[in-house]
Amino acid sequence: MPTMNIIQAVNNALRIQMAAEPKSIILGEDVGKFGGVFRATSGLYDEFGEERVIDTPLAEAGIIGAAIGMAVYGMRPIPEIQFSDFIFPAFDQIVNELAKFRYRSGGQYPCPVVIRTPVGGGIRGGHYHSQSPEALFIHTPGLKVVIPSNPYDAKGMLLASLRQDDPVLFMEPKKIYRASRGEVPEEDYTVELGKAKVVREGNQVTLIAYGAMVSVIEEAAAKAAEIGISCEVIDLRTLMPFDIETITESVSKNGRAVMVHEAPQTCGFGAEVCTSLYERCMAHLEAPIQRVCGFDTPFPYSLEHEYLPNADRVLGAIRKTLEW
């Protein structure tokens, strides 16, 4: 079984889908001859041609608007937004058109658009190339939101997304695009959307994260184990719909939890996760759920590693919940 990074896994999934489904079309800025700014679409232009791998102008609203039109007429477009920070010009198209097509048509018109976009910090990109806007889209009924943390899930969940008849926002954590490596089958397979994964079992504190922060909580759990603290690590994988059953079972068992994401804390997705757990686990909780998040500031240039959650900050939250 070959070893891949996330970029290679995404590229492999796109190649499989394009070969299997002639109605699939990739479009976006620099996705064709250049192969994408992160090379996620490398080689696809030569293999499938300019009519199926389309370089577009720098116009995100146009990219998504064109994709919606294609989908309504029976195509299966896969638009790329070069950085998630650039998605805001297309916000109206996504939340007011794409997300509502099936509902407004009484189920007559599915809109199978999978929007790929790199998300988050970790590449010294500053405040225009490092944001994590997932909560804005999780708040929009009609969209599924997916953020994988490793190559195996990236390929399997992207292929699962591409077989949906409803829109999916597939956000790829660029900090670990090449840092996360693992064995990935060459053949076609899918990973079910809406299912979290217990990465590490433990019986004292539940650690919850997604995307690039999963490796952070794994490191924190390893450090905690060195001082005799047992942590369960859960990768949410799909944020909408998220797997409330798996995290409820874990938190009910352990009585303590820490939620981690790199987006700003206020109104971040972690707030919804924590509230959902309070509604279901209040009788089992031994301490308030802790959050370790980015700060409520624009993403910084020079203090990126102070802004992003790290294992030591998570370990501090683990200690706090145990000392309550």
Q: 248: exposed, middle or buried (C-beta count within 10 Å: 0-12, 13-18, 19+)?
A: middle
Instruction: Find out whether 128 and 296 touch, Cβ atoms under 8 Å.
Output: no
Catalytic residue from among 129, 139, 261, 284: 129
Q: Which amino acid is at 24?
A: S
Range 102-141 burial, b when 16+ CB lie within 10 A, else e: beeeeeeeebbbbbbbbbbbbeebbeebbbbbbbbbbebe
- What is 183-224 written as a DSSP string? E--SS-----TT--EEEE--SSEEEEE-TTHHHHHHHHHHHH
- Does residue 127 have an active-site annotation? no
How many Å is the maximal CA-CA distance in the chain?
Answer: 60
Query: Cα torsion at 224, 227, 232, 238 (round to 10°)?
Result: 0
Q: How far apart are CA 45 and CA 253, in angstroms?
A: 50
3-state secondary structure string across 261-315 = EEEECCCCHHHHHHHHHHHHHHHHCCCCCEEEEECCCCCCCCCHHHHCCCHHHHH
Instruction: Find out whether 287 and 319 touch, Cβ atoms under 8 Å.
Output: no
Cis omega (within 30 of 0) on the bond before 57?
Answer: no
Q: Which amino acid is at 159?
A: L
Q: Which amino acid is at 268?
A: G
What amino acid positions are annotated as catalytic residues?
129
